[in-house]
Structure 1
Amino acid sequence: MKPALLAYSSLPAERIGVHPPTALPAAIRLGTVHLAVASLARSLEFYQRVLGFALLGQSPAGAGQAAGADLGVAGSPQVLVRLHEQPGANAVPRRGRLGLYHFALLLPTRADLGRFVRHVRAQRVHLGASDHRYSEATYLTDPDGFTVEVYRDRPRAEWWVTAEGEIQSALDPLDEAGVLQAAGDTTWQGLPAGTTIGHLHFYTGSLPEAAAFYHQALGFDIETWSLPGALFVGAGGYHHHLGLNVWAADSPAATEADARLLRWEMWLPDTATRDAAAARLQAAGYTVAQLPEGVLATDAWGIRLLLRAEASSRV
């Protein structure tokens, strides 16, 4: 029997999701996603032509450093993705490696999503799509086998929850005709101002272990817990900043020979909040290292998170 659904706005904030002993503040944001790729030139062609990234900077290989490129939105200094070239890196197999499942670009409006869909269809690139109730999402695969989600959120007033506070998701068909209609006659000009990293989704080996790191220690709320083999966690009542699944639980973790997620970044409001999160992870037994730009923590599958503070200088 399906649970009765309530409007998201009908429940107070404290009743949305399952809260950890110490919760992350609502004012977090996801920072740069660092990826190891086999060919920088190949990836840049895809990320610029198909996804619409602007090239913000590029560095050659040398002095022990891999060639790299910073990608973001034209006119903004914020680096959304940094590509690190690793010639010969193994491509990502389908559900064959623990680590990154996908990262997701959040567009500001439905019209932006419509322009993106029309652009990708014209490029003749395969595009998957779903309506998740709280969002409308599309999916592409990059040259190294990484999945990239490009989506837009519905307003929270249109989200649904159960009486227990679980945010409701779905895998319904996307109303592509409606999305395209919302785009009007305006053409795609690359990622629009206001595009952010909306969330990331990881293949993990165990949901209890994933919850121990990301929920109990780090401090994300569990927003959705009844999906088969997955937990969605977020801060501030967001549907999810992270997806955690066990759909590839019997697979090995990504290694240094593979195209992989090198690290992801999360910005916290201040150094005190950042250091408190790092202290919780360290107290729980996880590897934590102090770096000049923040605190690096590693989960049970080698997924690395750099905790950063808005008050510190961005590098």
Structure 2
Amino acid sequence: MTDTTTSTPDTPAREIADFGSVHLEVTDLPRSSAFWTDVIGLVLRSETAEEIQLGTQAETLVTLHPGARTGFLQGHSGLYHLAVHPPTEADFARILLRLIRIGWQISPTDHIMSKAIYLLDPDGITVEITLETPERLLEANFDSDAPYVVRRDGSRSNGREPLDVRAVLETLPDDDTSLPVPEGTKIGHVHLYVGDLQAAYDFYRAFGFNQAVWAPRFHMGDLGAGGGFNHRIAVNTWQGIGAPQSPAGTARMRAFTLRLDTPARLDHVLGTVDAPIQETDGGFLVRDHSRNTLLLSAH
């Protein structure tokens, strides 16, 4: 493969998969639960000594598990970040205002194809809050020495500009930050550290994800699910070629849930994926070449 350029389709197609819950191993269940409810605004859906489920009233987005003794450890394959996607700019703005009022350290960033807020959970796991704005993007170019994106008006950006926080907050109809995230909030993408870029990219392409960005000179690749937002699974080797999986006892991702659009696609993936498969009550566990774990199911 060579470095590729991607553009955004004007008419989004149905996507081949979406995400269920992301499972995280944390050092302190109550502390992490408070982060997701009080800081992010998720709803506490269920709580036991073994796991805490959080999300919207209708769906679990994050499941917390005990077992970590130390925080997130750099230098390993695993989770780069999980991304919570609210459905509207006002919902995105409400989370932003909540973060500002609490005083949580954040990095608001304008990727043009999305508006993003980056922050760390109490264990140092990176979380992104994302508003999808593919309608603002004309083209993303990774063929040059410095990647850039082109807005719909033809102007260029490096895709990492500071977000116009004031403009985002102006979309809020009120300043009530006690409201939880609304229905329609979802896990919208997962970005992974891997040890072998080509192997990881080929692994997820076999699921039916489309090539959005392939940029080995920047040690990363991006895959879409067939819709208008070409950033559903991303992989990079920024923790090093051959980086081992995060060890047990550290705060990390246990697994992420990927729900394929049809049982036929699930059967196809299970029949072609080059990895051991373990059947469970919730679906099928499979690991990519860097031992990042997926729980596969179908709608």
Selected match of 1:112 from 91, 110, 120: 91
Query: Displacement, 1:279?
Result: 1.2
5+ long unaligned stretches in structure 2: 150-157
1:313 aligned residue: none
Task: Kindly provide the CA deviation profile for residues 86-139 of structure 1, in whole angstroms up to 9, marking residues without a partner as x.
Answer: 1x522113x422100110000111111222111111101101111111110001
Q: Distance in 1 between matches of 2:12 and 2:45?
A: 38
Alignment check: 8 A CA contact 2:83 2:188 kept: yes
The answer to whether the aligner puts 1:245 opposite 2:236 as a matched pair is yes
Question: Counterpart of 1:299 in structure 2: which amino acid?
Answer: D
The answer to whether the aligner puts 1:267 opposite 2:267 as a matched pair is no
* Cα distance change, pair 162–69 in 1 and its aligned pair in 2 (3 A): closer
Query: Displacement, 1:142?
Result: 0.5
Question: Counterpart of 2:53 in structure 1: which amino acid?
Answer: D
The answer to whether the aligner puts 1:185 opposite 2:174 as a matched pair is yes
Q: Distance in 1 between matches of 2:164 and 2:195?
A: 34
Give the match's secondary structure for 1:50. helix
1:54-93 matched pairs, under 5 angstroms: 54-60=43-49, 67-73=50-56, 75-76=57-58, 78-86=59-67, 88-93=68-73
The answer to whether the aligner puts 1:201 opposite 2:201 as a matched pair is no
* Cα distance change, pair 245–7 in 1 and its aligned pair in 2 (3 A): closer
Alignment check: 8 A CA contact 2:148 2:159 kept: no
The number of equivalent residue pairs is 280
Question: Where has structure 1 moved over 4 Å in runs of 4 or more?
Answer: 166-169
1:161 aligned residue: 139
Question: Counterpart of 1:199 in structure 2: which amino acid?
Answer: H
Alignment check: 8 A CA contact 1:297 1:304 kept: yes
Task: Kindly provide the CA deviation profile for residues 197-245 of structure 1, in whole angstroms up to 9, marking residues without a partner as x.
Answer: 0101111112111112111x22211212237211111111331111101
* Cα distance change, pair 100–272 in 1 and its aligned pair in 2 (3 A): same
Question: Counterpart of 1:26 in structure 2: which amino acid?
Answer: E
Q: Distance in 2 between matches of 1:303 and 1:6?
A: 26
Give the match's secondary structure for 1:199. strand
- Structure-2-length-normalised TM-score: 0.86
- Structure-1-length-normalised TM-score: 0.82
Selected match of 2:121 from 131, 134, 142: 142
1:234 aligned residue: 224
Query: Displacement, 1:6?
Result: 9.5
* Cα distance change, pair 232–162 in 1 and its aligned pair in 2 (3 A): closer
Q: Distance in 1 between matches of 2:254 and 2:171?
A: 36
Alignment check: 8 A CA contact 2:113 2:137 kept: yes
Question: Counterpart of 2:237 in structure 1: which amino acid?
Answer: V
Q: Distance in 1 between matches of 2:141 and 2:38?
A: 45
Selected match of 1:305 from 268, 287, 294: 294
1:296 aligned residue: 285
1:31 aligned residue: 20
Q: Distance in 2 between matches of 1:8 and 1:58?
A: 40
2:271 aligned residue: 279
Selected match of 2:250 from 258, 264, 280: 258
Q: State percent identity of aligned pairs.
A: 30
Question: Counterpart of 1:270 in structure 2: which amino acid?
Answer: T
Query: Displacement, 1:152?
Result: 0.6
